[in-house]
Amino acid sequence: MTLVGKEPIPDDAEATYIYRKPEAVVRNEFTAVIERDEDWYVAHCLEIPGAHGQGKTREDALDNLAEAILLHLEMRRDDGLRSVPQDARREVIVVQ
């Protein structure tokens, strides 16, 4: 992995670390499984249990699923941050 931004970072600064691994499979890509249920398309995400979408068209179901994925990720972040002590240092890490 390559660490981008190797400069020392002051404790009060917000930092972003970017790790790049050429053979990495995980990105902002998720697996959508789409099924037909009479007049509706229903989609769910294998990597994020509970993320589902639906629509009258395949595209609508995928759009709805994308919104559900974003909502799930935001909620998980919010839930996780509630348990972080206020004096803990938080940083952003981007995996590409």
Q: What is the CATH number of the domain that holds 20?
A: 3.30.160
Question: By residue range, what is the domain housing residue 80?
Answer: 2-85
**What is the CB neighbour count within 10 angstroms for residue 51?**
22
pLDDT at 6: 43
pLDDT at 12: 54
Q: Has residue 91 been placed in a domain?
A: no
As for how many domains the chain has, the answer is: 1
pLDDT at 46: 94
| pLDDT over 60 at 4, yes or no | no
Q: Has residue 20 been placed in a domain?
A: yes
pLDDT tens for 19-78 read: 566 665 556 789 999 999 999 999 999 999 999 999 999 999 999 999 999 999 999 989
Q: Has residue 92 been placed in a domain?
A: no
